[in-house]
Amino acid sequence: MQEYDIVEIQSLSADLRLADGIWYSSIEQNISYPSEGNADCFAVEDTSFWFKHRNNCITSIVRTFPPEDNGTIFDIGGGNGFVSLGLTKAGFDVALVEPGKTGAQNAKKRGLNKIICATTSTAKFKPHSLPAIGLFDVIEHIEDDASFIREIRNLLRKDGLLYATVPSYSFLWSEEDITAGHFRRYTINGICRLLESVGLEIVFSTYIFRFLPLPILLLRVLPYKLGLSKNGKEITDTSKNHTIHNKFATKPLDLLLDTEISNLNRKKAMGFGGSCLVVAKNKCA
C-alpha cells in the first residue's frame, strides 16, 4: 500500500489499524448476513451473469454521475470486492469497507489496495468526510434502514453522492431472502422515499434486471408460498442461482442485458425489474 493511501485513510479515521494490507477496527459488530455468504459468492462472482451485469450497470451509472473531483467511492458492505474491482478497472478510486474478514481477505486476493474491515459504525469515519458511497445490495440487510441511511448521509460530504442497489418488490419475497438475511425488498418509490426522508436528493432512479421478476416468481416465490421450498436450515445453492444452464438462452439474455446498459448510458429509466438502482446527492453538510 502506497504512502498516500495510508495518509488518506488516517485522515478519515483515527481508530483503524493497518495489518497485512488491510485496515482493521478493534471492534466487531454483528451483521445480518450469513457467515459463509462471502465464501459462497467468491466462488461464483467471476462467472455469474448476475454479478457481471450488476457491475456493468453500476459502472455505467457512476460514469454518468461521477463523484465530484473524482473523489474516492467507499464501497460499504462490498463483500469480496467484486464491485470495487470493477469500478477500479473503470478508472475510479475505490475503498472497500467490509465487516467480514473473509470478504476483506478475498478482496486483497483480488488485488485491491484500499480495504477497511469494519462497519460504518466501527470504522468511526469523521462526519461529512466521504466524497461518495456505494451501498450495493446492503440496505436490505439493515433492520432499521432509516437510521442506517441517516448515518450514511452524515458521512457524506456536501454534494457527495450515494449509489445504491436493492432487491425489488415485496411480492417477490421468498426463502432466499430469509436465508440471505434480508429484512425487506423495495420499490423505486419506496427506496427513493427512504433516501429523501433523511435529506438526500434523488439524482436518478431506475429498475434493472427487467427479465428477472417472472423467473423469481415461478422458481422461488411460488414454491415458498406452497411450502415446497427449503425450510431455512439449508443454505441456498449460490452456484445454481447464478448459472444459466440453457446455452440457447445465453445470447438472447446478453442482448436484453445490453439494452439495459444502453438505457443507463442514455439516462433512460426503466419501469420494472428485479433490482432498484438509485443515485442520490447530499445537498447539505
Residue with cell 432466499: 176
Amino acid at 245: H
Can you give the pLDDT at residue 190? 98
pLDDT value at 87 more than 80? yes
pLDDT value at 242 more than 70? no
Pairing type for strands 156-167 and 275-282 reads: antiparallel
Least confident of 7-16, 183-192, 224-233: 224-233
CB-CB contact of 182 with 34 (8 Å): no
Can you give the pLDDT at residue 250? 73
Angstrom distances, CA of residue 16 to CA of 10, 57, 204, 208, 275: 7, 32, 34, 36, 33
Residue 37 binned pLDDT confidence (cut-offs 50, 70, 90): confident
How is the chain split into domains, by residue range? 3-282
Question: CA 136, 140, 143 angle in degrees (round to 5)?
Answer: 135
Residue 235 binned pLDDT confidence (cut-offs 50, 70, 90): very low
Cβ-based neighbours of 25, under 8 Å, separated by 6 or more = 15, 16, 116, 117, 118, 119, 122, 123, 124
Q: How many CA atoms lie within 13 A of 277 on its CB side?
A: 28
- H/E run at residue 278: strand 275-282
pLDDT value at 213 more than 70? yes
Dihedral Cα 214, 195, 201, 118, nearest 10 deg:
-110
Sheet holding 200-208, edge to edge: 16-19, 22-25, 115-117, 94-97, 73-76, 130-136, 156-167, 275-282, 200-208
Of residues 244 and 141, the one with the higher pLDDT is: 141
Domain 3-282 has CATH 3.40.50.10490: no
pLDDT value at 51 more than 60? yes
Residue 134 binned pLDDT confidence (cut-offs 50, 70, 90): very high
Angstrom distances, CA of residue 84 to CA of 124, 145, 195: 21, 23, 23
Query: Which whole number is the average pLDDT over 58-74?
Result: 96
Can you give the pLDDT at residue 160? 97
pTM: 0.91
- H/E run at residue 167: strand 156-167
pLDDT value at 8 more than 70? yes
Determine the 3-state secondary structure of 75 from DSSP. strand
Query: What is the residue-wise DSSP string for 174-204?
Result: -HHHHHHT----B-HHHHHHHHHHTTEEEEE
